């Protein structure tokens, strides 16, 4: 089993912009604006046809301290594609048996999505203690995270889904929240 260093990636990136790239023309202005605003990572979701090319372009046009991640990885075919694209981190909204098996050998940092205690326990049994809590707003938000901090004190979460400019500081203030993710950042930059 390889080491998953996602906690190190997120420690330096408390806010993770989750973006959907419709056209490659969007990539350079977006990455430039993020860097200018001292946001040094991006999660490009695999929800558009140009997402893989967008990832490669984001890596080319960003500086060395900028982390280019990929989100919405839902099957092993996509996992192989993004490993090939040499991304800096991988985000999965959830897990299935096939992905769990494949991830055991992945050396790129990855963030698996969970909602339930059983899913958290499965991840802990694999040594994965830094997890995406998704969809955070539907799965209980701040109060669920406070409860999980009592039960699973070793887990650090990156909540996403319904996080906003208004509520993200409250999430980051929780001891068991390492970072937050969301689409509001891209909208906020007017890009
Ligand atoms: C997602 O994967 O869509 C993210 O969780 C972003 O959700 P948001 O649009 O509610 O920020």
- Dist CA 170 CA 177 (whole Å): 10
The answer to whether residue 53 scores a pLDDT higher than 90 is yes
pLDDT at 170: 98
Whichever domain contains 151, its CATH number is 3.20.20.70
**CA–CA gap between residue 24 and residue 2 (Å, rounded):** 33
The reply to whether 132 belongs to the active site is yes
**How many domains does one find in the chain?**
1
Distance 94 CA to ligand 1 centre (A): 13
For atom 1 of ligand 1, which residue has the closest CA? 161
Q: State the catalytic residue, choosing from 11, 43, 59, 119.
A: 43
Mean pLDDT of 59-79: 97
pTM over 0.85: yes
Tens digit of each residue's pLDDT (9 = 90 or more) over 95-121: 999 999 999 999 999 999 999 999 999
pLDDT confidence of residue 112:
98
Residue 189 confidence (pLDDT): 83
To the nearest whole percent, how much of the chain has pLDDT over 70?
99
Q: Which helix (H) or strand (E) covers residue 100, if one does? A: helix 97-103
pLDDT at 18 over 70: yes
pLDDT bucket at 1, cuts 50 / 70 / 90: confident
- Best of 20, 73, 135, 159 for a ligand 1 pocket test (most atoms within 8 Å of beta carbon): 135
Average pLDDT for the chain: 96
pLDDT in tens, 155-167: 999 999 999 999 9
Spacing, Cα 182 to ligand 1 middle (Å): 5
Domain interval for residue 24 = 3-188
Q: Calculate mean pLDDT across residues 135-161.
A: 98
Model confidence at 190: pLDDT above 80: no
* pLDDT at residue 158, rounded to an integer: 98
Picking from 4, 187, 2, the residue whose alpha carbon sits closest to that of residue 90 is 4
Residue 127 Cα distances to 52, 57, 122, 156, angstroms: 29, 32, 9, 13
> Coil, strand or helix: which one is 19?
strand
26-40 pLDDT, tens digit each: 999 999 999 999 999
The confidence score (pLDDT) of residue 191 equals 60
């Amino acid at each position: 089993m390889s080491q998953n260093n996602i906690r190190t990636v997120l420690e330096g990136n408390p806010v993770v912009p989750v973006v959907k790239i419709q056209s490659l023309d969007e990539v350079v202005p977006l990455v430039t604006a993020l860097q200018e605003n001292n946001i040094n990572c991006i999660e490009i979701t695999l929800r558009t046809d140009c997402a893989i090319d967008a990832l490669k372009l984001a890596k080319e046009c960003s500086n060395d301290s900028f982390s280019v991640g990929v989100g919405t990885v839902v099957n092993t075919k996509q996992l192989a594609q993004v490993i090939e694209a040499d991304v800096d981190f991988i985000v999965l909204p959830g897990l299935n048996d096939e992905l769990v098996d494949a991830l055991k050998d992945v050396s790129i940092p990855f963030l698996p999505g969970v909602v339930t205690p059983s899913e958290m326990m499965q991840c802990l049994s694999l040594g994965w203690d830094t997890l995406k809590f998704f969809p955070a707003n539907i799965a209980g938000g701040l109060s669920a995270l406070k409860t999980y901090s009592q039960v699973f004190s070793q887990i650090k979460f990156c909540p996403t889904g319904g996080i906003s400019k208004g509520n993200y500081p409250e999430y980051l203030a929780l001891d068991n929240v390492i970072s937050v993710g969301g689409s509001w950042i891209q909208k906020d930059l007017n890009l």
